[in-house]
Structure 1
Amino acid sequence: MARGTLVNVAALVWMAAARDILSLAIAYVLVQFSSNAAQAPFHALLPDIVPEEQRGLVSGVMGLLAIAGTIAGVVVAGLFIAASQPLPAYLQGLWLTYAIIIAVLLALMLITIVSVREKKYPAAQGDAQDFAPLAQNPWFKRIPPYQLRNVFGTLMVAGAAWGIMQLWNGQLPGLHITANVQQVMLELIVTVGLLRLFDFNPRRDPDFAWVLLTRLVMMLGIYTIQAYFQYYMRDAVGVPDPERQTTNFVIIISLTSLVSALAVGWLSDRFGRKRMVYFSGGFMALVGLTFIITHSLVIVLAAGAIFGLGYGAYQSVDWALVADVLPSEKHFARDMGIWNISLSLPQVIAPVIGGPIIDHFTHAGNPLAGYQVIFAMSIIYCLIGTVTVRFIKGVKR
C-alpha cells in the first residue's frame, strides 16, 4: 500500500507537469495502476479487522467517505482551477489542487500504516515449492514460473492482437478499427491475463464471480451515463452552460448519496445485502427512464437526486458484498485486486460502446435518439446487475 501510494504521488506530479497529450496519457495510466495497487491491500485489511456482523455498516461508512471525497474534489477543483484564467494563474491553481490531493494521500497512508495492525498468514507448502526454483534469481526471486509464463504469454497475445489490427487497418481501410476499439481489445486481453495471473476461477468460486459480474455491469450502467452527460446537457437539454449544469448534477447526486449511503449500509446488516442492491438498481434504472422521456433541466436535476439515493445505496453495500464471498483469507489483497478490475474495466468499455452510437445518430440528424439509446442501455445494465445478485448464495438475502 505504501509503495503504491508513493508511486501514485509521483504519477500525480507527472500529470500536473505534463504539457502534451502523450505525456498526460502515460501519467494517467500510471496514476490508475498505482491507485489500484494501493487500494487493493487497503481493502484487504478491512475483512481482517471488521466483524462480519458489522460489514454492512463499515461498507456504508466507506461509501459515505468516498462520496464525501467526490464532493471535496469537485469543490477544491472549482475553487482553484478555471480554464478562463490566464495561464500562470491556471497553472498555479492546478499545482495547488494537486498538492492538496498529494497531502491528503500521504497523510492518510501514514495514519493507516501507523495505526492498523494487519494479520499475518503463514504461506502454504505449495506456495513455497512454487517459489523454490527461482529462489537464487536476483530478478525473479519471488515470482513463480507459472506467473512468468502467464505474463509473457499475455504480452505476446496482446502484441499479436495489436499487430493483426494494424495489418487489418492497412489492408482494409474501409473497415477501419478505431483507436478506442483497439484500446478495449487490448484491455480485455490484459484483463484476462490478470485474472489468470491471480488464479481467478469462476467454477471454483462462483459467488465471487457473480459479485464481480454484478459490480461490472452496475458500474457499466453508471459510466454509460457519466461519460456523456455533459454532451446530453448540451444537445438534448439545450442548456447554454453544460459544464456548470453537469457540475450541479454531480453535486446533487453526491449530496443525496450521502443520505442513503450510511443508512443502507446499516440496514444491509439486518435485512440483507441483496435487498439493498435491488433497491439501488431499481432507483438508478428509474433515472435512466426519466432521461429518455423528458429533457427539462428541472426534471433532470430532480432525477439526479433520485439517482443519488440509488447510487449511495449501492456504494454502501458494494464492499460488504465482496467481503462476504472472498475465496481465501490468505489472498485477500489478490482477490481485492481482481475486484478492482470490475471498477476500472467499465470506464474503458462504456465510452467505446456509447461513442459510436451517439456519432451514428448525430450524423443521421437525430442526436437525441443517440442519447435515448445509451440511456436505455444504462437501464438494461442496471437491471442485469440487479438480477445477477440473486445468484450469489454466500451473502444475506
Structure 2
Amino acid sequence: MQPFTPSWYTVLASYWFATSFKWAAVLLALLPERVAQLVANEQKAGALGLLFATGAVMALIGPPLTGYFSDRFGRRMPFLAIGAVLTAVALVWMAHAPSYAVLFAAYILLQIADDLGTGPYSALIPDLVPRSKRGTASGYLGTMQMVGNIVAAVLIFSLPSIAGQFYVLAGVNLLAALLILRTIQEVPGLRQRQLGFVQSMLAPWRNPDFRWVWATRFFAMLGQYSVQTYLLYYLSDVVRTFDAFGLRLADATQAVGVLGLMIFVGGALSAVYAGRRSDQLGRKRPIYISGVGLSLVVLPILLLPRFDLLVVLALVFGVFFGVYLAVDWALVADVLPDPEGYATDMGLWQTSIVLPQVIAGSFGGLIDRANQASAGSGYTLVFLMAAGFFLLGTLLVRQIRGAR
C-alpha cells in the first residue's frame, strides 16, 4: 500500500479505532453490567470503583513501561501482536468470569494487554510520518477515536447479548492489529535504545517543549473530564426535562447518550480537516481556536440549562474537541527530542490523559458542598473551572518553541 494516502492513514489509525471502540463499550456498559451480575446490589458501586481505580493506576504505569521495552528492543510490531492476542483473551475471559475475583483478574489482564499494544503503537506516527504530514495522520487518529465511540454506542444498543458484545470487541481488536501487521509492518531502521530505564523515564522531562506539551494536554483533558464526569448529575439535578426538536427522552441516562453521540459526530466531522490544515498553518493556531472555543461553549450551559440548547452545544463542543484531537498527537510528535525513545516518550505523554481523570473525580466533594449551600451552584463552579482549564491549556501552547 502506498504510504501517506487516505487508505494508508486509515489503516494506521485502525488500531486506535479498535482501542476506543473497546474502552467505550467496556467502561460505559459491559464492565458495570458484569459487576452487577456478580456482586450484591448494595456492593456494586464500590466493586466497580475498585476496578476503575486499579485500571487508572495501571494506565499511568503501563504505557511508559511497555514503550521503554519497545525502544530497548527496537521493535514495535511484536508488542502490538502480543497485546492484541492477550486483549482478545482478556475480553473473552471477562465475558465468562464466574465471580468478581475472576472478573478482576481478567480486567487486570486487559489493562496489561492494552498497554502492551498501545504503548509501542503510539510511537508509529513519529516513527513513520514525516513532520509535514503528521497533522493529517493525527487527524485520522482523532476521527477514528470518535467513530470508535459512536460504533460502541451502536453495539451496546443493537446486540442484546453481553457475551456477544465482548466477542465483537475481541474480533475487531484482532482484525485491526492484523491489518496493521500486514500493511504497515515493522518500522524500518529502528535502533535499540541503550539508555537505562531511569534515564529513559527522565530524559523527555529535560526538554522544556515536552513539559509544555504535556501540560497543555493535561489541562485540556482536565477540562473535559470536569464536565464529563458530572454531566449525568447536572442533567438530572438541574436540567430535569429532556425535550429537543420533537424528541422526548425518558431520563438523564438517555440524555447523556444523545449528548455523547453529538460530541462524537462533531469530532469525527472536524478532525481530519483540522489535521490537514495544521500541516499547512502550523499546530498552534488550531489549538488556539479549539481551546478558546471549548472554554466558551461551556458557559452557555450555565446560563440556559435547556436540553435542546445542550444538544446544539454538544455538537459544537465536539467540533472543537475534534480539532484539538487532530492536532495534539502531531504537536507532541514534533517536539520529541530522541528518535530512539519515541515509544517511551509517547507513553509518558499519555499519562496526561489518565491523571486528569483521577483529579476530576476528586471534585465530587466540592460539588456536593456547594450544592448544599445553594442548589446547582456546585455544577456552576466545576463548569467554570472547566472553562478555565481549557483556557489555561490553550495559553500554555505559546511556551512551546519547537512547533509553529
TM-score normalised by length of structure 1: 0.75
Report whether the alignment pairs 1:74 with 2:153: yes
Kept after mapping to 2: 8 A contact 1:249/1:304: yes
* Matches of 1:378 and 1:27, distance apart in 2: 34
- Counterpart amino acid of residue 385 in structure 2: M
Counterpart position of 2:240: 238
Counterpart position of 2:87: 8
The 1:290–1:16 alpha-carbon spacing in structure 2 relative to 1, beyond 3 Å, is: farther
Counterpart position of 1:390: 398
Q: Spell out, residue by residue over 1:233-278, the C-alpha distance to the aligned partner (whole angstroms, 9 max, x if none).
A: 1111113511111100011111111221111111101111111111
Q: Spell out, residue by residue over 1:192-212, the C-alpha distance to the aligned partner (whole angstroms, 9 max, x if none).
A: xxxx7623453x211111111
- Unaligned 5+ residue runs, structure 2? 1-79, 242-249
* Matches of 1:32 and 1:345, distance apart in 2: 16
Counterpart position of 1:359: 368
How far the C-alpha of 1:10 sits from its partner, in A, is 2.8
* Matches of 1:210 and 1:22, distance apart in 2: 41
How far the C-alpha of 1:291 sits from its partner, in A, is 1.8
Report whether the alignment pairs 1:119 with 2:188: yes
How far the C-alpha of 1:371 sits from its partner, in A, is 0.7
Identify which range, 5-14 or 261-270, moves more after superposition: 5-14
The 1:387–1:5 alpha-carbon spacing in structure 2 relative to 1, beyond 3 Å, is: same
Counterpart position of 1:247: 257
How far the C-alpha of 1:6 sits from its partner, in A, is 2.5
- Counterpart amino acid of residue 382 in structure 1: F
Kept after mapping to 1: 8 A contact 2:204/2:336: no
Q: SS in structure 2 opposite 1:295?
A: coil
Counterpart position of 1:199: 202
Aligned counterpart in structure 2 of residue 109 of structure 1, from 150, 163, 177: 177
Kept after mapping to 2: 8 A contact 1:283/1:309: no
Q: Spell out, residue by residue over 1:310-340, the C-alpha distance to the aligned partner (whole angstroms, 9 max, x if none).
A: 1110011121111101121111111111111
The 1:317–1:378 alpha-carbon spacing in structure 2 relative to 1, beyond 3 Å, is: same
* Counterparts of residues 209-224 of structure 1 (less than 5 Å): 209-224=211-226
Counterpart position of 2:299: 289
Kept after mapping to 2: 8 A contact 1:219/1:343: yes
Counterpart position of 1:275: 285
How far the C-alpha of 1:366 sits from its partner, in A, is 3.2
* Matches of 1:263 and 1:281, distance apart in 2: 17
Report whether the alignment pairs 1:377 with 2:379: no
Kept after mapping to 2: 8 A contact 1:8/1:31: yes
Kept after mapping to 2: 8 A contact 1:36/1:340: no
How far the C-alpha of 1:103 sits from its partner, in A, is 0.5
* Matches of 1:6 and 1:367, distance apart in 2: 50
Kept after mapping to 2: 8 A contact 1:37/1:337: no
How far the C-alpha of 1:20 sits from its partner, in A, is 5.8
- Counterpart amino acid of residue 390 in structure 1: R
The 1:201–1:49 alpha-carbon spacing in structure 2 relative to 1, beyond 3 Å, is: closer
Kept after mapping to 2: 8 A contact 1:40/1:336: yes
Aligned counterpart in structure 2 of residue 225 of structure 1, from 216, 227, 242: 227
How far the C-alpha of 1:370 sits from its partner, in A, is 0.8
The 1:262–1:361 alpha-carbon spacing in structure 2 relative to 1, beyond 3 Å, is: same
* Matches of 2:169 and 2:211, distance apart in 1: 34
* Matches of 1:361 and 1:107, distance apart in 2: 48
* Matches of 1:19 and 1:220, distance apart in 2: 36
Report whether the alignment pairs 1:99 with 2:161: no
**Alignment length, in residue pairs?**
316
Give aligned-pair identity as a percent.
34
Q: SS in structure 2 opposite 1:47?
A: helix
TM-score normalised by length of structure 2: 0.73
Q: Spell out, residue by residue over 1:6-26, the C-alpha distance to the aligned partner (whole angstroms, 9 max, x if none).
A: 332233234333466665555
The 1:43–1:295 alpha-carbon spacing in structure 2 relative to 1, beyond 3 Å, is: same
Report whether the alignment pairs 1:257 with 2:336: no
Counterpart position of 1:326: 336
